[in-house]
Structure 1
Amino acid sequence: MLAMDPTAANLTALSAFLAQTLDPVARKAAEASLSQAEAQPGFGPCLLAIVGGGGDGISQLGAPVRQAAAVKFKNYVKKYWKQDDSVPDRVSAADRVAIKSNVVRLMIVVSTPLQLQLSEAISLIADTDFPKNWDTLIDDLVGKLSLTDWSANAGILQTAHSIFRRWRAQVRSNDLFSEIKFVLERFSTPYLQFFQHTDNLITQNSTDVPMLARLFETLLLLVKIFYDLNFQDLPEFFEDHMTEFMELLLKYLQYTNNGLERTTSRTTTAVQAGNPLAPHAPAPGQPAQEDEDDEDTEEGPITKVKAMICEIADLYARRYEEEFGKHLERFVGAVWTLLTTTGREMRFDGLVSKAIAFLTSVAKPARHRHFFSAPNVLSQICEQVVIPNMQMRKSDLEEFEDDPIGWVRRDIEGGDAETRRRAASDMVRGLMENFNKEVTEIFSGYVGAYLQNYETNRAANWRSKDTALYLIISLSAMSTTAQLGATKINEHIPFLSVLLSNVLPDLQADVKSGGVHPVIKVDCLKYLIMFRSHLTKQQLVEVLPSVLSHFEHPNPVVATYAAIALEKILAIKAPQTGALMFVAADLEPVGQTVIDRMLSLVEKGGPSPEKLAENDYVMKAIMRVVIVVRSRALPYITDLIRRLSSIIAQISKNPSNPRFNHFAFETLGALVRYVVHEQRDTLAGFEQMLFPVFEGILATDVQEFMPYVFQIMSQLLEFHSEAQIPERYESILHPLLQPALWESQGNVPALVRLLQAFLAKGAAQIVAKQQIQAFLGVYQKLIGSKLNDQYGFDLLTEVFWNIPTASLQPFIRNIFFFQLTRLSSSKTSKFQHAFVLFLNTLLAMLKDGFGPNELITAFDTLQPNLFHTLLNQVVLPELSSGEVLRPDERQLIVVGMTNLLTRSPRMKTEPFVSNWPGVISEIVRILQIPVASGAGANADVDDELQLLEIEETGYQASYSRLATVGKLKRDPLAAAGITDVSVYFATQLRKLAAEDRTLFLGAVSKLPKDVSDNVQNALSSVV
């Protein structure tokens, strides 16, 4: 194994491995060698030395090897820099110092591709260390800014931007603002000075195109950093220097230089805000004239800068209007001029969309009505900005045809947020905030003309109807959500009349004849999706056959939108009950046909795993249908499982689409959950079809799929009726307990779920084979990790629930010792919360041979009076903190603490007697917290599954819990027959009062009056 000091020999060997990673034949072995070397001290600094060229000790390295080293260094930092208390640090303290001492200097001198990798690595280090453990970083960056070396400046500013842009996604907090303040104190003044210096050089070098190109690269980074620094709040420095900054931004919003960037301008006259140009929109019903170079997609440097300045203006208009107000009118005028003089080429799409977004933000507040109230202003905005940018262009249609799933993804998920069309649609809604009736009237004329033009020649004029429907949706849906579609409808648009006269006829037209253009079919399906929540069930039932028929449409975009429409309709909830509107009986007649057609769509995706898994929208619709039809899937279950398992086996060869993977396994989980539950004799058939696929995934170590396999296995195991572990599962238990599987974080929650199933099914076998210690070894590993401690408690709860106390007795001391070690050495609020819930679970469980007295004794054997200390310093402070928020947790606490008081003789002696008033007060306080309807511990799990949005369960790259499998929930309250925890508390307290009146009266006398009154009321309410 390499000794990772940066000698010539080691650098040569390491660079050889990096070179081999570029060779497909040698790559796997080289990557294994690099993985082995990663563990050695000095690995990171050696990589940096290679990025720098290797130094004088070895021959100059080629660019590919240096690039490979830079990428490896970035990934090394990403993987190991952030420390986890539960695992040894893979980056030594000396290496951390060496890396931070050299990486900024090196980043400045290397080429741009290498700069980008090192800049990202610096940002990753800053995520953890800056500013507390790297307080020199900003001074290092500022100190290296150069008045002449623009390549170095690009690296410095790119690094600064990489660090500062993190703030955009962060939640406002004291720590965040402290970090921003730290940066501003060191960065603001040199930043403004450097901005002004760059501006002067641009002016001086107006004819030097190569120099201008470098300067505009710098300017773009400067305006990006401006956005970063101003995103969370308006800094005092920027407010004090508002005029200087706004003059600079306005200058470059209006800047032109034909030598630097080829431009296409309209022949127009500049306008002032509030006095727009004469219309240049196409005549109503006519498509916009296509620009000859519509496919020109290369965005120039000036365009990039202008687009970023529009984003800044939008930010200031939305958040800092009071300070920005005196500059707002000039920016409105400049942006209007920009919009009316910019061509339709694709290279201007980002600029135009951001410019429209700024005007939209200005249009929304009522106080800005004066910008749009002058005669003809609204009509000219509609005609000059909205209509020309709302029409489908040649490039849009090419994408529709060449990349169907990509087109759907961008359209349905907002990936087109920076397109002209989406921006124009948003502007319509923005204008309607204050000019609803006026805007509706203006566009209604266009809509009518476009629809009339379509009817004159449907084949030739399909673009007219496409524009009309897009415009109608924008006008009609005044507010929307992904879950419901349109939530507020324009009262001036009869949406149902539009559906009946302009949408349904094209939806009902034959899908194979080609009489209706595929884009129009998609538009009609989108209209139905948007307004689905405003239709009755009967109306949806009538339109559903037309939707289903589009699964046979030859265009994949149309078929995919049909699947999306079906999924959205099936997810609609009845407004009166909150339950799903559609039930199994509604789909039973067509369920098999629908699933068969959608599976065929998936299978037609292509022979490669990547193409097969491309269409997650169809797979999600299959999942939704299976969840709705539930056990009604029985007649065709064998074929469904066979095809689904075949798809999973194929995509496991190269998992490429996490959403598709998730929905495929959710579908499997739903089939097991409902079909096997109803017909236990189908279990063997399920296992016969699924286990070969699962075993293949486990044997080939498909990391993305293993957590899913473990979850489905746990589900299947739990459905076995025999009171022991079946032979097929028994053979895999030993490997599951080995450390290797637990190294992957994604496996941990799913493995715990599977081990819980083993404990529930075969506790006696586990005891007989002396495997308890192995289970507790897993618990020990999990409980020591800040990331996984909750899973340790989950596993331990199942151990206590199933393993007899006598078999656990030899291990109990160590079980609690490990918890106390965490509490004393690296306690977190999450761990303390989980610890208190675990104690209350044991107290509520009243496990045979291990009740409240035994729990107290277990702790006190570790240290005298330890449980009393924990009660005062951990349990009661946690309860009073208000962290116990969930209704089921609150109920568990009430029963656990009640049992502690009333079922433990030890609690009736000193030093515990002094705790009674505090414990009773916390129980009473918790009981007074209102419980939301349906939020109790015994809520119907199936209803919860039916009503949730599956994709909202939180897909992560490493692990995603299957909602159809669910968590294993142990309810000690249900096991004890407790239905009302307040009644239980009062009943147990009344028994105590009868048994030990002195103790009871002494405790009550020390309660606050309001608590004492509540206790007396509770006691009087039970007989």
Structure 2
Amino acid sequence: MTLRAAVCENINLYMEKNEEEFRCYLKEFVSAVWILLGNMVSQASSNRDQLAITAIKFLTTVSTSVHHALFEGEGVIQQICQSIVIPNVRLRDDDEELFEMNYVEFIRRDMEGSDLDTRRRIACELLKGIATNYKNRVANLVSIHIHSLANPVANWKDKDCAIYLVDVQNFFGSVIVPELQSPDVNGFPMLKAGALKFFTMFRNHIPKQAALQLFPDLIRFLGAESNVVHSYAAICIEKLLLVKDEGGRARFNADDVSPFFISLRDNLFIAMKFPESEENQYVMKCIMRVLGVADVNGEIAGRCIDRLKSILSEPFPSLEMILVNDVTEFFPYAFQLLAQLVELNRPPFSPSYMRIFKILLSPDSWNRASNVPAFVRLLQAFLQKAPHELNQDGRIGHVLEIFEKLVSLPGSLEQGFYVLNTVIENLEYSVLERYICHIWEVLFKQLQHWQTVQSRKTVKLVKHLLILMSLFIIKHGSNNLVDTIHPNLFKSVLENALDATAVEHWGKMLDGIVTLLSEAERDRIEDEREMPDIDENVGYTTTFVRLYNAGKKEEDPLKDVKDPKEFLVVALARLSAIYPGRFPQIIWQYLNSDNQAALLHFCSTYNCQIL
């Protein structure tokens, strides 16, 4: 078997890489592989899978090449469907065993796309390959076979095979809906799972009203005894609630969910009581999605929390055990979850939490690069929830030592600024005052260093430095900023603000601000959060993976500024009233014509005048 599989793999490579040289041998090889696959129809054991897969891959490669005419003969495509595609798409005993014994692995293969090299998937790829050049013939043949297969009385496995092959257009209403509306949720579980999978995969094509009519049936399937069936029902509901119509608006909203909410909530928690589904990730994700879409009041939230308490245990002891036993593989996850727990707690914190805070302040804890983002996330949570704790036992000095260590390394520069920004944002100036000069000294030394070596990190450092300075001005005032950088600097800045050398910079800056504010929202691209650029340690190190639902909620430091356009023109009008006649000339000289018109429109809209 291994030798034959290797031969099939080799001739497939010849077909892909040396088609011209191989074409004179192609017909004989196609015939030989075809006969080989035909002889394997009755031999569906798993030890022949690799041979069947490589052989079908070879036929698929031929079907999409310039030699596809080998398949256009009378009855050839029909014979391929009968002798190769349908037998390999049909469920086998191994599939049934996996369905019953290891539902997580079955879902991973069947729903999450890890079945790339299975007979089922490869047989469908062959059919797609032939349809590339013979679409109508393939469609007619498949329709005939589906009609004969879709008879559950004769054989439910054949109907599952039909579901796997079908096109959505003429199938959903006639075959899938009756299965979903079947009163027995436990009968033919693999067939029910196939119907739920079909609904999930083609959810975008199912009209909203038709989907809503099937919601009660989906909720019923949450009570199915089969782990796969109630997991597929949860997946289907969760994916439906994510569907968006044109324009990005969610297709289903709270009003749509409201009539079914109580039964949906109850059945989701019932699903988690089945054996091996106590920690069912698909059901939990569905609960999260439903609560995110539905209107949830205090009473409903309380009941959900009570249900969760009866199923789940308190996470803190488990996280503490990870730390105590030094299970480094789970550190990045544990610290992100601990950050969430800290944010949800109210000070004063228990001794257990303060012990973790003490670990955070230890320099040795920051030596493993993969832990840094999660450590920073947790440290930010402590600084935001209990900033007064920093005034005790010299803790603020320890935090600033951590900041200094992080910004000195290119791989953790960004994380260092996250720590410092949180300190600046949450501590009073009276607490910070004695440390501010040292902070600026550290940052400007770093800037000088990276400029000297002409590193690409210079741009990133300047960007974070500007954000830090802006945040400092917002929280503690511009006087404190410039005077802590250099004594009496603020006075000299005021005296020279409108010198000829400064006017050009001021004008260009205003031009950039107007460009930013006048851009249409649809033209702005929101950057995705990037994975921090962390240098890897020599040898093995756990990789940091950000938990998607453990993200930090970003706070707007300028909540009072409701409209930035209005804020700009009001500030300009106020400044121009102090120095009348200066700003119109600067605007005319340094703003391009489009931005001049945009600024004029802002002034008109908010009834402001630049003198």
TM-score range, shorter chain: 0.7 to 0.9
Residue 833 (str. 1) matches residue 460 (str. 2): yes
Q: 1:917 to 1:628 in 2, by over 3 A?
A: closer
Q: How big is the shift at 1:520? A: 1.9
Distance 2:595 2:115 in 1: 62
**Out of 631, 634, 644, which is 2:312 matched to?**
644
2:124 aligned partner: 425
Distance 1:535 1:433 in 2: 26
**Out of 498, 506, 515, which is 2:175 matched to?**
498
Distance 2:111 2:413 in 1: 38
Alignment of 1:499-898 (within 5 A): 499-501=176-178, 503-504=179-180, 507-511=182-186, 516-573=187-244, 578-579=249-250, 581=252, 583=254, 585-601=258-274, 604-605=275-276, 616-628=281-293, 632-645=300-313, 689-719=314-344, 729-730=353-354, 732-823=356-447, 824-825=449-450, 829=456, 832-833=459-460, 835-843=462-470, 846-847=473-474, 849-851=476-478, 854-856=480-482, 858-859=484-485
Q: How big is the shift at 1:422? A: 0.7
Q: How big is the shift at 1:441? A: 1.3
Q: 1:989 to 1:594 in 2, by over 3 A?
A: same
What amino acid does structure 2 have at the position aligned with 1:350?
Q
Q: How big is the shift at 1:967? A: 1.7
Alignment of 1:104-183 (within 5 A): none
**Out of 69, 83, 86, which is 1:387 matched to?**
86
CA RMSD between the two structures: 4.0
Q: How big is the shift at 1:431? A: 3.6
1:192 aligned partner: none
Alignment of 1:282-431 (within 5 A): 299-307=1-9, 309-310=11-12, 313-314=15-16, 331=26, 334-335=29-30, 337-342=32-37, 343-344=39-40, 346-357=46-57, 359-360=59-60, 363=63, 370=69, 372-431=71-130
1:450 aligned partner: 149
Distance 1:928 1:335 in 2: 63
Q: How big is the shift at 1:442? A: 1.0
Q: How big is the shift at 1:958? A: 3.8
SS at match of 1:600: coil
SS at match of 2:522: coil
Distance 1:720 1:303 in 2: 60
Residues 276-311 of structure 1 show CA distances to partners (whole Å, capped at 9, x for unaligned) of xxxxxxxxxxxxxxxxxxxxxxx5145235325525
Residue 994 (str. 1) matches residue 577 (str. 2): yes
Partners of 2:269 and 2:307 within 8 A in 1: no
Task: Name stretches of at least 5 consecutive residues in structure 2 with no aligned partner.
Answer: 529-540
Distance 1:464 1:968 in 2: 50
Distance 2:20 2:145 in 1: 35
Distance 2:216 2:596 in 1: 63
Alignment of 1:919-998 (within 5 A): 919-932=509-522, 958-974=543-559, 977-997=560-580
Distance 2:224 2:587 in 1: 75
1:467 aligned partner: 161
Q: How big is the shift at 1:558? A: 3.2
Q: 1:904 to 1:972 in 2, by over 3 A?
A: farther
Alignment of 1:68-87 (within 5 A): none
Q: 1:640 to 1:504 in 2, by over 3 A?
A: closer
SS at match of 1:819: helix
2:531 aligned partner: none
What amino acid does structure 2 have at the position aligned with 1:498?
V
Higher relative contact order (CA 8 A, sep 6+): 2
Distance 1:627 1:378 in 2: 49
What amino acid does structure 1 have at the position aligned with 2:308?
L
Residues 494-525 of structure 1 show CA distances to partners (whole Å, capped at 9, x for unaligned) of 43223234x335x43252xxxx4332222222
Partners of 1:339 and 1:352 within 8 A in 2: no
Partners of 2:243 and 2:251 within 8 A in 1: yes
Partners of 1:300 and 1:347 within 8 A in 2: no
What amino acid does structure 2 have at the position aligned with 1:637?
I
Q: How big is the shift at 1:1018? A: 5.2
Distance 1:785 1:795 in 2: 14
What amino acid does structure 2 have at the position aligned with 1:643?
I
Partners of 1:845 and 1:972 within 8 A in 2: no
What amino acid does structure 2 have at the position aligned with 1:984?
F
Alignment of 1:154-233 (within 5 A): none
Partners of 1:522 and 1:558 within 8 A in 2: yes
Distance 2:147 2:442 in 1: 74
Task: Name stretches of at least 5 consecutive residues in structure 1 with no aligned partner.
Answer: 1-298, 317-322, 477-488, 607-611, 646-688, 866-899, 938-943, 945-955
SS at match of 1:409: helix
Q: How big is the shift at 1:563? A: 3.4
Distance 1:1019 1:628 in 2: 37
Q: 1:339 to 1:559 in 2, by over 3 A?
A: farther
Q: 1:576 to 1:392 in 2, by over 3 A?
A: same
What amino acid does structure 2 have at the position aligned with 1:300?
T
Distance 1:520 1:793 in 2: 55
Partners of 2:219 and 2:264 within 8 A in 1: no
Q: 1:994 to 1:591 in 2, by over 3 A?
A: same
Distance 1:626 1:376 in 2: 54
Partners of 1:360 and 1:431 within 8 A in 2: yes
Q: 1:637 to 1:934 in 2, by over 3 A?
A: farther
Q: How big is the shift at 1:368? A: 7.1
Q: 1:504 to 1:1012 in 2, by over 3 A?
A: closer
Distance 2:318 2:98 in 1: 36
Distance 2:220 2:226 in 1: 13
Distance 2:503 2:247 in 1: 51
Q: How big is the shift at 1:417? A: 1.1
What amino acid does structure 2 have at the position aligned with 1:455?
V
What amino acid does structure 2 have at the position aligned with 1:737?
L
Q: How big is the shift at 1:425? A: 1.5
What amino acid does structure 2 have at the position aligned with 1:617?
Y
Distance 2:395 2:587 in 1: 48
Distance 1:557 1:401 in 2: 8
What amino acid does structure 2 have at the position aligned with 1:970?
E
What amino acid does structure 1 have at the position aligned with 2:282?
Y
Distance 2:476 2:601 in 1: 31
* TM-score in terms of structure 2 length: 0.80
Q: How big is the shift at 1:694? A: 3.9
Q: How big is the shift at 1:1019? A: 6.4
Q: How big is the shift at 1:840? A: 3.5
* TM-score in terms of structure 1 length: 0.50
Distance 1:618 1:442 in 2: 39
Distance 1:418 1:448 in 2: 28
Q: 1:720 to 1:556 in 2, by over 3 A?
A: closer
Residues 82-124 of structure 1 show CA distances to partners (whole Å, capped at 9, x for unaligned) of xxxxxxxxxxxxxxxxxxxxxxxxxxxxxxxxxxxxxxxxxxx
